[in-house]
Amino acid sequence: MEFSSSSPNTIRVVSTFASPFEGSPDQNDSSNSSSSRKPLSLWPGMYHSPVTNALWETRSKIFERLLDPPLDAPPQSELLKKTPAESRTSILYNFSTDYILREQYRDPWNEVRIGKLLEDLDALAGTISVKHCSDVDSMTRPLYLVTASVDKMVLKKPISVDTDLKMVGAVIWVGFSSIEIQLDVIQPSSGSSDPSESVALTANFIFVARDYKTGKAAPVNRLCPETEAEKLLYEAAEARNNIRKRKRGEDKREIENGGVNRLEELLAEGRIFCDMPALADRDTILLRDTRLENSLICQPQQRNIHGRIFGGFLMLRAFELAFSTAYAFAGLMPSFLEVDHVNFLRPVDVGDFLRFKSCVLYTEHENTDQPLINVEVVAHVTRPEQRSSEVSNRFYFTFTVRPEAKATNSQFRIRKVVPATEEEARRVLERVDADHLQSINYTCK
């Protein structure tokens, strides 16, 4: 059956997106476009922000083989030495003049939508890692680069959607197969000429390289910092990496050798709630009573250039659930402060049934001007046919409530959150210790 579009009551709909390979040789040559064009399954999804799309287009030009790698080609035979300047990349958001772009990033409070910015940060970090890992030999097998974790992300000031914004980043450290990338989001402060006051957000991403054919860890090009600032960043990142390695072996021993008392202290109040709820502290709430959850089926429009679900999209969804969790908990609009840590434990595929589960893990209200709400979001890939569910991602966010919001409610207070089970208590202790370690680490940076 054919449909006619000539009727005056029929509205013709056309795609608002260009081909991700627009301008490539196979697109320009109509004689071979149908035979040599990349299959649709290898195109990146079309859900993503204009900045992410622009970054992926740049990445495909730098390292287009990632889309269709010659798996039988030999791996890179000799590692190159590269400087941070060779991977440095920046993105400019012309919010002041581009009203359509501005509307795509605006949140209800006329600030930049943080979840969309997380998506762009991940895309920029990925492009930078590709720049660093690419070689000059088109006959070698490319590397598969994936986000392993977000080590730290700190919002230093609110980001306006009416003022131009710049995002810049570079590789600051490499290990055998891992790469650390530091990103800064810059927005000039009115009336200030101090460059440090223009930095609105900083983030550190860890990427790892895998061999496309074997899936095993693959060595990456070496890094040669040149300036004094680059050398200091390298040394700080090296120290953080050593601490991470040491910490992995210490966590379990700490619980076994003295952490039991801390577990018992945490569980004591929770037991009162469970056993004698009428006598429980009214300023305290059980961790399980702060939970929220949502779920989705991962769609082709959300995939990256590798055909997997884009990590930036997962961070966006996790952030918006975390924001809602903090909002429902505090009773006032929360203000984002930090991404404490994100772990990408396994890839997420198109068609996966993904469940995001959030809770307020703990609160800190010693500083009454800036109480802290620490939210955990765990993403589970669920397979009903197999009756299985496994964790794909863990996200940790910190929020506060701004003084102007608190001023509207004289009864405002942040409750203390307590665990009811040993598993919950262990998760709280692990994050409290990790946050304390990170704060010392980054303060010394």
User: What does the alpha-carbon distance between residue 303 and residue 43 come to, in Å, rounded to a whole number?
Assistant: 8
Tokens of 381: 């890939």
- Say what the pLDDT of residue 296 is: 95
Q: Do domains 10-17+39-226 and 259-444 have the same CATH topology?
A: yes
Q: Which fold has domain 10-17+39-226?
A: Thiol Ester Dehydrase; Chain A (3.10.129)
- Say what the pLDDT of residue 442 is: 53
373 beta partners: 363, 399
CB atoms within 10 A of CB 190: 6
Helix (H, G, I), strand (E, B) or coil at 399: strand
- Say what the pLDDT of residue 61 is: 65
- Say what the pLDDT of residue 33 is: 45
Longest dimension (CA), the chain: 80
- Say what the pLDDT of residue 257 is: 53
What are the CB-based long-range contacts (under 8 Å, 24+) for 412-415? Answer: 412/330, 412/331, 412/332, 413/283, 414/330, 414/363, 414/365, 414/371, 414/373, 415/283, 415/284, 415/285, 415/329, 415/363
Give the residue ranges of the chain where pLDDT is below 50. 24-35, 66-67, 440, 444-445
Q: Dihedral sign, CA of 338, 342, 348, 352? A: negative
- Say what the pLDDT of residue 340 is: 84
Structure letter (DSSP) for residue 374:
E
Answer whether 280's CB lies under 8 Å from 420's CB: no
Answer whether 105's CB lies under 8 Å from 95's CB: yes
- Say what the pLDDT of residue 26 is: 44
- Say what the pLDDT of residue 251 is: 55
Q: Which fold has domain 259-444?
A: Thiol Ester Dehydrase; Chain A (3.10.129)
Domain segments of the chain: what residues?
Answer: 10-17+39-226, 259-444
Q: Which helix (H) or strand (E) holds 355?
A: strand 353-364
- Give per-residue pLDDT as tens, 1-29: 555 556 666 555 555 555 555 554 444 44
- Say what the pLDDT of residue 142 is: 74
Answer whether 162's CB lies under 8 Å from 102's CB: yes
User: What does the alpha-carbon distance between residue 279 and residue 415 come to, in Å, rounded to a whole number?
Assistant: 16
Tokens of 67: 């889309």
- For 279, counting Cβ atoms within 10 Å of its Cβ (0-12 exposed, 13-18 middle, 19+ buried), the class is exposed
Question: Which residue in this structure is represented by tokens 């598993």?
Answer: 423
- Say what the pLDDT of residue 370 is: 84
